Structure 1
Amino acid sequence: MTEARSDSHRMMISDPQVMRALAHPARIAIVEYLNSRDGGGTATECAEIVGLSPSATSYHLRALAKFGLIEQAPSRGDARERVWRVPSASWMFDAGREAGPAARAAEQALTEAHAARAMERVRDWSRRAGDEPAEWYDKALFSDTLLLLTAEELAELNEAVLALLRPYHPRRREGDPPPGARTVAVQYRTVPLA
């Protein structure tokens, strides 16, 4: 069994096989798409998002399901249609402090795939920002702050930020967002510098 443990808010991924399964741009995009849709999505719907054929997308869906990163959702009425969903609102990954070289390599591959996806979001925003309504343009934020913290203070900061985000996770699954709500990428990282 893998170590993709889920609670109602966050899945913690520590198994190198699971990390390798997710460290593919199409798979990350599929998980994000399914997470953004109440009721999940089909291979055909996911294929439109990732730019692959439905059969290639089905392959990726099965690989994600094998490791518990997605699951089959209730049918929408057409028994022939296979609908997929994500079991948790977000995920985190960590091979662990004592991880060996294979686990570290898997973690690094997933880190790089995730960082590339995050950077593409920033580039996409930069390309279209001038066309956005003022209410969204004025609220977007890029911040890069260097803080001098102890390990305990960093733990407190992380918990405080994650606590601020927690109330917004259920909205994606409840299917009744407030009027005008949009999916917003919040990219939060804390990494001690050398």
Structure 2
Amino acid sequence: MTEARKPLTDPMAMRALAHPARLAILTRLQTEGSATATDVAEVVGITPSAASYHLRMLAKYGFAEDAPARGDGRERLWQVALGGSFIVSPEPDDRPEDRAAKDLLIKAVRDQAAHEVARAMSDFDREPPEWRAASVFHRTLLLVDAEELRRLNEQIDELLSPYRATVRERAQVPAGARISEAQVSLFPRAERRPHGIPRE
């Protein structure tokens, strides 16, 4: 099963999502399913009233929505909105306000990703041997043209797509499956200008 991911173009929505608590809440909904404001507050480390506010903001811009009630239905449940997966990509013809919003959101997502790497590294020695052996932290320099880089991105996306937590049927995953993370950045290196030799 593949997951359609929509390009984000609304600068207001991008600015709203760039808040660290909202990104963390959205990640919680994507990885563990529907939750109340109290549920996500415990994970994110904020008050339930603050979590409720952030959930309403996520809903306002189409990232979250009401989930089917459970139990007696007195608690409001939230879930990721249909099509809640998104792509943010700077374009040459972006208006300045669009580009600023994209840059803000991309930085927020990259900061969250760096935080997850740091958490994984600090906990690495406590992981079971099979998880340590399966983990990879690496960086590869490529020599490609623009078309090859674009095609590589499509191939990686196609490879990862069946494993996305938002679309994979929980009943069909192998025993012992855990939420894991792939971080992919493909981009042309900016030209490095020489720093010059420091004076002694």
Q: Which residue of 2 aligns with 1:37?
A: 32
Unaligned ranges ≥5, structure 2: 191-200
- Contact in 2 for aligned 1:42/1:82 (Cα 8 Å): yes
Does the 8 Å CA contact 1:89/1:172 hold for their aligned counterparts?
no
Paired position in structure 2 for 1:193: 189
Distance 2:20 2:168 in 1: 23
* Match for residue 126 of structure 1 among 87, 107, 121: 121
RMSD: 1.7
**Alpha-carbon distance between aligned partners in 1 of 2:55 and 2:84, rounded to the nearest angstrom:** 17
Determine if contact 2:3/2:161 at 8 Å carries over to the other structure.
no
Q: In the alignment, which residue of structure 2 is the partner of 1:181? A: 177
Q: How far does residue 64 in structure 1 lie from its aligned partner after superposition?
A: 0.4
Residue 82 of structure 1 corresponds to 76
Residue 12 of structure 1: aligned partner: 7
Match of 1:57 among 47, 51, 54: 51
Show CA shifts across 1:87-136 (max 9, x none).
24732213533112211111111111111111111111111101110000
Deviations 1:36-72, CA, capped at 9 Å, x for gaps: 123x111000000111111110000000000101111
Map 1:80-119 to 2 at 5 A: 80-86=74-80, 87-88=82-83, 90-119=85-114
1:157, 1:60 → 2: CA distance? 36
CA contact (8 A) 1:19 1:106 kept: yes
CA–CA distance in structure 2, aligned partners of residues 92 and 58 of structure 1: 25
The equivalent of 2:195 in structure 1 is: none
TM-score, reference length from structure 1: 0.90
Quote how far apart the aligned CAs of 1:82 are: 1.0
Equivalent residue letter for 1:190? L
Instruction: Answer yes or no: is the 8 Å Cα contact 1:14–1:96 preserved in 2.
Output: no
TM-score (norm 2): 0.87
**29-38 or 82-91, larger mean C-alpha shift:** 82-91
Instruction: Give the Cα–Cα distance (whole angstroms) in 1 for the partners of residues 161 and 109 of structure 2.
Output: 21
How many angstroms apart in 2 are the aligned matches of 1:125 and 1:65?
A: 30
Q: 2:64 aligns with which of 62, 66, 70?
A: 70
Deviation of residue 171 (structure 1)?
A: 6.6
State the secondary structure of the residue aligned to 1:162: helix
Could you tell me how far apart the structure 1 residues matched to 2:179 and 2:73 are? 30
How far is 1:172 from its partner?
5.1
Aligned length: 187
